Amino acid sequence: MNPATSTQKLSGWGRFRTGSCHVFRPEKRSEVAAALASGEQSTYIPRGLGRSYGDASLNENGGVIWPIRLNRFLSFDDSTGEIECESGVSLAEILEFFLPRGWFLPVSPGTKFVTVGGAIAADIHGKNHHRDGTFSNFVQSLELLTPAGELLRCTPANNSEIFWATAGGMGLTGVILSARLRLRQVDSTNVFVDYYKAVNLEDALDKMETSDARYDYSVAWIDALSTGKALGRCILMSGNHAPASELPSRARKLPPGTGNGAAVSTRPKWNLLADFPSGTLNQLTVKAFNAVYYAIHSTAPRQLVSFEKFFYPLDAIDNWNRMYGKDGFVQYQIALPQASGREGLRVVLDRLARSGCASFLAVLKRFGEAGPGLLSFPLHGYTLALDIPVRRGLIPFLHELDRMTLDHGGRVYLAKDAVLRPEDFAAMYPKLDSFRSIQRRLDPKRLFSSSLARRLKILD
């Protein structure tokens, strides 16, 4: 049976890139292949929860396969934490049902409202990248329905080329139907966090370099509007899962294996029902916010923080992206290599601060070794992520930052990108040619494409 379809105007999470797409929502697994074989659209791209910021899961005037109802858990091994599930399962669902049994995500992005399919396709990273690498490191196998309609089981050992083209491949190698993942055992839902108030970029990076190895998780919130001597001042947050034995008695413990842990609610507490007026987040308000945020935090060791607050602070508010008004915003995230990273960060932050671009909640972190994903983003070094409201002149400004990034051997994250140009993209991703040749083999009829792929000429 063909899946139900609907023509919709879709956007990425930044609500800046939009497109009218023909959405197929399969209710059954067999309907994915039926949609691809239907001949109804000339190209298709999968979509998960639409948390990529730009146009990765858009296909303007083309087909979008939305396997959000293919969200079934297929197996779980209590002794190893191995879980097999369909690609439409969200990380929130994994937490809801498996955290009470003592199992946590091996890698968490800044929101739990992403699907397993989206997590693999963007090969996402978390605050533990310096230690554990990306999400795909914990994917033991995946089932891929290729554009040609073949069902392939790929593991890092079998069909490994296809596996590493798919991990980070932004949906262009086919539809991931299911995956087998390894979860991480924990015995509480809390994290012990050490806060460190860094006076500037150097201070923060020195601290990270010397202390990151002691923490599972490490991230810095950076005041991107500070200048001069304070350039890059930030609050460094480093944490480890709190062992149950060290928790105060009132804190919640998880009895591993018994599955008697209290329920974990994953629903947002608030919902932003309407757009803020455009321009609400301007240089003035953001500067004030940043100053207050920096001022109220101080260096403090061993604070007990809930996992929700530590990993997903923004998830408490549904549709928080409306805060940026109807024009939307761009998330600009770059990775810079270790060797030239410090210099690169300084140049970019300095340019940003001088531009007066109001970036609120800029995030800085160290990356560990890069993985084998052909289009994966992380590079051994540093990453900086900035949320910037859309305004006139933004695109040329970001192109300027692209150039600086490139000059320092860095790259832009495709899951966030909305403005990159094809020539800069190609220069940033040296394994692009290998990706293209594998993609072409899987998709001889050129059935897969996305707005992102066309904008960046990924498949040309």
Partner 1 sequence: MPTVIILGANAGIGRALAAEFASHHYDLILSGRDREELVMVAADLSLRHKVSARPLTADIGKTEVLQSAMEECLNAAGEALEGFVLCAGYLGNPETAKKDLSEVRRILEINFTGSVLALEIAAKHFEQKRRGFICALSSVAGDRGRQSNYLYGSAKGGLTTYLQGLRNRLYRSGVHVITIKPGFVDTRMVFGKGKGPLTASPERAATDIFRAIKKHKDVVYVPWFWRIIMLVVRKIPESVFKRLRM
Ligand X SMILES: Cc1cc2nc3c(=O)[nH]c(=O)nc-3n(C[C@H](O)[C@H](O)[C@H](O)COP(=O)(O)OP(=O)(O)OC[C@H]3O[C@@H](n4cnc5c(N)ncnc54)[C@H](O)[C@@H]3O)c2cc1C
Structure tokens at 128: 């533990």
The residue whose two tokens read 């413990």 is 253
Least Å from the CB of residue 46 to ligand X: 4
C-alpha 450/C-alpha 431 separation (Å) is 19
Least Å from the CB of residue 100 to partner 1: 11
Which of these ranges, 104-112, 195-203, 227-235, 352-360, lies near ligand X under the rule CB under 6 A? 104-112
DSSP string, 36-87: HHS-SSS-EEE-SSS-SSSSTT--TTSEEE-GGG---EEEEETTTTEEEEET
Strand bridging mode 63-65 / 18-25: parallel
Q: Phi then psi for 270, rounded to 5 degrees? A: -125, 160
- Residue 75 interacts with which of ligand X, partner 1, none, CB < 5 to 8 Å by class: partner 1
Distances (CA, A) of 339 to 343, 379, 381, 406, 409: 9, 11, 8, 14, 9
Establish if 109 lies at the interface with ligand X (CB under 6 A). yes
Applying CB under 8 A, which of residues 20, 42, 61, 75 lies at the interface with partner 1?
75
Binding positions for ligand X, 10-69, rule CB under 6 A: 13, 45-52, 56-57, 67
Structure tokens at 265: 């609610």
Nearer to partner 1, 72 or 440 (CB): 72
Which of these ranges, 110-118, 200-208, 354-362, 390-398, lies near ligand X under the rule CB under 6 A? 110-118
In our burial notation (b when 16+ CB lie closer than 10 A, e otherwise), range 314-323 reads ebeebebbbb
Backbone Cα Rg of the chain: 21
Establish if 114 lies at the interface with ligand X (CB under 6 A). yes
Least Å from the CB of residue 122 to ligand X: 3
Query: Which bin fits 452, alpha (ψ -120 to 50), beta or left (φ > 0)?
Result: alpha
Establish if 320 lies at the interface with partner 1 (CB under 8 A). no
Establish if 319 lies at the interface with partner 1 (CB under 8 A). no
Establish if 355 lies at the interface with partner 1 (CB under 8 A). no
Establish if 291 lies at the interface with partner 1 (CB under 8 A). no
Which of these ranges, 72-80, 266-274, 304-312, 357-365, lies near partner 1 under the rule CB under 8 A? 72-80
Applying CB under 6 A, which of residues 175, 234, 353, 442 lies at the interface with ligand X?
175
Establish if 170 lies at the interface with ligand X (CB under 6 A). yes
3-state secondary structure at position 342: helix
Q: How many CB atoms lie within 10 A of CB 149?
A: 14
- Please report, as ranges, the residues that interact with ligand X according to CB under 6 A: 13, 45-52, 56-57, 67, 87, 109-111, 114-115, 117-119, 121-122, 124-126, 170-171, 175-176, 314, 415
